[in-house]
Structure 1
Amino acid sequence: MPIFENVLKKQIDIKVIDSTIDYKNYVPLDLSAKHTDELDLDLTDADKFEDFVKNHLSQNKAKVAFGGYLEHRNLYKRSETFNDENTEERNIHIGLDLWIKAGTSVLSALDGKIHSFQHNLGLGDYGPTIILEHEIEDCTFYTLYGHLSLESLEGKTEGQLVKKGEKIAELGKPPINGDYAPHLHFQIIKNLENKKGDYPGVCSFKEVDFYKENCPDPNLLLKIN
């Protein structure tokens, strides 16, 4: 396994939302295009989407639903953000989603500092977003936290130090969070490509190899299952 992925795997006791919720209370959630088509799930209505997530949690006696890394989704068809007529459709999710109610605490995965933050406006985008910078064993990398509350950006400064497990934000509600059911989009990024406050969380099929290398599976760090 590459050196960086080994660095991630060596980290322990990592939580990025409410530290009181044990991973045994997490349940997978399949939002692949095939599955949502079979369910005839309306992905354009944030309230119906949230009801679907709540029902999934209730049926599984769980508190958090998770999943989505490298998942092919229809979730983005409603937004021009991912469907520009001049480029290939972006529908491969390259982060990990953690679905739970708005207002849930969002935590820094590791010691680091605030690299950048901004409100990414637009239907289907991240909404309020924070990117942290970390350095472990001479590896510099970034973690992105998307779909936050607008208040989460207040009082933040670039370079501000954060500690592992420190509360850095709260999950936002639709439509501020990009108009999704409340959840955290968590992503690991090796090369931020000079971007600030934003980085693609969805890619096209032809870009998968690059983003799979640049954005490894967040579960290497979280170890949910």
Structure 2
Amino acid sequence: MNSLIEILLDQKNVKVIDATISYDEYVAFDLCAAHTNSLDLDLTNADKFEEYVEKYLSESKAKVAFGGYLEKRNLYKRSETFNDKNTEERNIHIGLDLWIKAGTSVLTALDGKIHSFQNNIGLGDYGPTIIVEHSIEGFIFYTLYGHLSLESLKDKSKGQTVKKGEKFAELGKSSVNGDYAPHLHFQIIANMEGNEGDYPGVCSVSDVEHYRKNCPDPELLLKIQKG
């Protein structure tokens, strides 16, 4: 039997946003702490950050900026969700971000069914979120789609069938997506560990190895850098 990693690598032609955009029109985007510290950029202001993303895309002649898996970021310091006084700071990103304008179509990565969904309200949280369950070659695993529009949660039900490449959501604006510049947080999860409608997308340094194993690099599935 293949491993989950092998199953992910075997999948072809997977996209999770607007299928009309070629991977040739994607550009890598560095949001690690060392880089953002060097910029004159207010990470607490979603509008200013959105302007920065749009400028970066324009200068790069690209339509989508991507990256962030296991990236150590300062983006979360503004929120007590990740940075309270009683627990270790969470600042390691364990999904892949795809930065593009609000309203962009979000597609199901693979055939599956809706596991759960909810609006994760709070500064720095996911906002509207959908989690899809997949079963391939005896492996059950999940994909998480965060920072969606509120409309994306309408007419959804647990167990609802979704097909690979089907538009089933749209990206939300900063007013509903946790106060970020519009983007999709896409994450692969081997074991939901009892969670419903939510799963950590950022972890502490101490927990990196656990989440690295439970949340494989989405690039294995999407293959953006291979085009």
| SS of alignment partner, residue 38 of structure 2 | helix
Matching residue of 1:73: 73
Q: Which runs of 5+ in 2 are unaligned?
A: none
Distance in 1 (CA, whole Å) between partners of 2:79 and 2:32 is: 17
What TM-score, normalized to structure 2? Answer: 0.98
Matching residue of 1:172: 172
The letter of the residue matching 1:26 is: Y
Matching residue of 1:193: 193
The letter of the residue matching 1:18 is: D
Distance in 1 (CA, whole Å) between partners of 2:160 and 2:110 is: 14
| SS of alignment partner, residue 92 of structure 1 | strand
What TM-score, normalized to structure 1? Answer: 0.99
Matching residue of 2:147: 147
Matching residue of 1:6: 6
1:175 to partner: Cα distance? 1.9
Matching residue of 2:44: 44
Matching residue of 2:27: 27
The percent of aligned pairs where both chains have the same amino acid is 72
Distance in 1 (CA, whole Å) between partners of 2:35 and 2:129 is: 28
Find out whether 1:92 has 2:108 as its counterpart.
Answer: no
The letter of the residue matching 1:138 is: G
Count of aligned pairs between the two proteins: 224
Distance in 1 (CA, whole Å) between partners of 2:206 and 2:151 is: 36
1:84 to partner: Cα distance? 2.0
| SS of alignment partner, residue 117 of structure 2 | strand
1:152 to partner: Cα distance? 0.3
The letter of the residue matching 1:99 is: W
Find out whether 1:115 has 2:115 as its counterpart.
Answer: yes
Distance in 2 (CA, whole Å) between partners of 1:118 and 1:106 is: 16
The letter of the residue matching 1:43 is: L
| SS of alignment partner, residue 156 of structure 1 | coil
1:187 to partner: Cα distance? 0.1
Distance in 1 (CA, whole Å) between partners of 2:56 and 2:174 is: 19
Structure 1 segments of 4+ aligned residues over 6 angstroms from their partners: none
The letter of the residue matching 1:187 is: Q
| SS of alignment partner, residue 187 of structure 2 | strand
1:3 to partner: Cα distance? 1.2
Distance in 2 (CA, whole Å) between partners of 1:101 and 1:32 is: 21
Question: What does 1:124-135 align with in structure 2 at a 5 Å threshold?
Answer: 124-135=124-135
* 1:172-212 CA-partner distances (Å, limit 9, x unpaired): 00120000000000000000001000000000000000000
RMSD: 0.7
Q: Which runs of 5+ in 1 are unaligned?
A: none
1:85 to partner: Cα distance? 1.4
* 1:136-192 CA-partner distances (Å, limit 9, x unpaired): 111100000000000100000000000000011000001200000000000000000
The letter of the residue matching 2:163 is: K
| SS of alignment partner, residue 15 of structure 2 | coil
Distance in 2 (CA, whole Å) between partners of 1:66 and 1:76 is: 18
Distance in 1 (CA, whole Å) between partners of 2:6 and 2:59 is: 36
Distance in 2 (CA, whole Å) between partners of 1:41 and 1:88 is: 25
